Structure 1
Amino acid sequence: MKLTVLGCSGSIPGPDSPASGYLVEAGDTRIVLDLGNGTLGMLQRFADPFLLDALLLSHLHPDHCADVGALTVMRRYHPAPPYEPTQRRLPVLAPPEAPDRLAALYAPSAAERAETDLSDVYEFRELPVAPVRIGSFEVRAIPMTHVCPTWGFRVTAGDKVLAYTGDTGPCAEVAELARDADVLLSEASWADFPEAPAGLHLSGRQAAETAREAGARRLLLTHLQPWTEGRAVLDEARACFEPAELVQAGHTYTV
Structure 2
Amino acid sequence: MGTNGWYDTDTGNTLSILVRSKDFNVVLDAGGGLHKLDRYADLSKPTVIMLSHHHLDHLIGLHQLARFRFKDKVTVVGIMGTHAALHDLLRDPYSVPLGLIPYNIEVLEVREGVHERPFTFHSRLLFHSSPCLGYRLELDGRTIAFCTDTGPCKNTLELARNVDLLITESAFRTGERSDLWPHLTPEDALEIKKESRAKRLVLTHFDAYKYPTLRDREEIEERYPGQLMVSKDDMIVKL
| TM-score between the two structures when normalised by the length of structure 1 | 0.81
- CA shift at 1:53, angstroms? 2.8
Whole-angstrom CA distance in 1 between matches of 2:26 and 2:48: 5
**Of the candidates 209, 213, 228, which is equivalent to residue 195 of structure 2?**
213
Map of 1:165-204 to 2, 5 A cutoff?
165-194=147-176, 196-198=177-179, 200-204=182-186
> In structure 2, do the counterparts of structure 1 residues 221 and 149 end up closer, same or farther at CA, with 3 Å as the change threshold?
same
- CA shift at 1:214, angstroms? 0.9
The letter of the residue matching 1:104 is: D
Alignment identity in percent? 24
**Of the candidates 211, 224, 229, which is equivalent to residue 245 of structure 1?**
229
User: Is contact 2:2–2:34 with CA below 8 Å preserved after alignment?
Assistant: no
Whole-angstrom CA distance in 2 between matches of 1:145 and 1:94: 16
Whole-angstrom CA distance in 2 between matches of 1:121 and 1:67: 18
The letter of the residue matching 1:122 is: I
Whole-angstrom CA distance in 2 between matches of 1:177 and 1:205: 18
Q: Find runs of 4+ consecutive structure 1 residues off by over 6 angstroms.
A: none
Whole-angstrom CA distance in 1 between matches of 2:162 and 2:60: 32
Whole-angstrom CA distance in 1 between matches of 2:51 and 2:75: 11
Map of 1:79-228 to 2, 5 A cutoff?
81=69, 89-109=73-93, 117=99, 121-134=104-117, 137-194=119-176, 196-198=177-179, 200-227=182-209, 228=211
User: Is contact 2:52–2:148 with CA below 8 Å preserved after alignment?
Assistant: yes
- CA shift at 1:49, angstroms? 4.7
> In structure 2, do the counterparts of structure 1 residues 104 and 235 end up closer, same or farther at CA, with 3 Å as the change threshold?
same
Q: Can you list the C-alpha shifts for 1:148-172, whole angstroms capped at 9, x where unaligned?
A: 1101111112442111102100111
**What residue number does 1:25 align with?**
20
Whole-angstrom CA distance in 2 between matches of 1:206 and 1:20: 19
Whole-angstrom CA distance in 2 between matches of 1:142 and 1:92: 17
- Give the superposed CA RMSD: 2.6
User: Is contact 2:25–2:42 with CA below 8 Å preserved after alignment?
Assistant: no
The letter of the residue matching 2:12 is: S
- CA shift at 1:116, angstroms? 6.6
Question: What are structure 2's unaligned runs of at least 5 residues?
Answer: none
**Of the candidates 13, 16, 21, which is equivalent to residue 11 of structure 2?**
16
Q: Which structure would you say has the larger Rg?
A: 1
| TM-score between the two structures when normalised by the length of structure 2 | 0.86
Whole-angstrom CA distance in 2 between matches of 1:24 and 1:140: 16
1:234 aligns with 2:207: no
Structure 2 counterpart SS, 1:63: helix
Q: Can you list the C-alpha shifts for 1:38-68, whole angstroms capped at 9, x where unaligned?
A: x232112111456443111111111111111
User: Is contact 1:144–1:168 with CA below 8 Å preserved after alignment?
Assistant: yes
The letter of the residue matching 2:115 is: V
Number of residue equivalences = 232
Q: Can you list the C-alpha shifts for 1:54-104, whole angstroms capped at 9, x where unaligned?
A: 111111111111111211x225xxxxx465xxxx65211112222222222
User: Is contact 1:10–1:189 with CA below 8 Å preserved after alignment?
Assistant: yes
> In structure 2, do the counterparts of structure 1 residues 208 and 99 end up closer, same or farther at CA, with 3 Å as the change threshold?
same
Whole-angstrom CA distance in 2 between matches of 1:158 and 1:49: 19
The letter of the residue matching 2:152 is: P
Q: Which has the higher contact order (CA 8 A, sep 6+)?
A: 1
Question: What are structure 1's unaligned runs of at least 5 residues?
Answer: 1-5, 76-80
Map of 1:21-60 to 2, 5 A cutoff?
21-37=16-32, 39-49=33-43, 51-60=45-54
**What residue number does 1:65 align with?**
59
> In structure 2, do the counterparts of structure 1 residues 176 and 61 end up closer, same or farther at CA, with 3 Å as the change threshold?
same
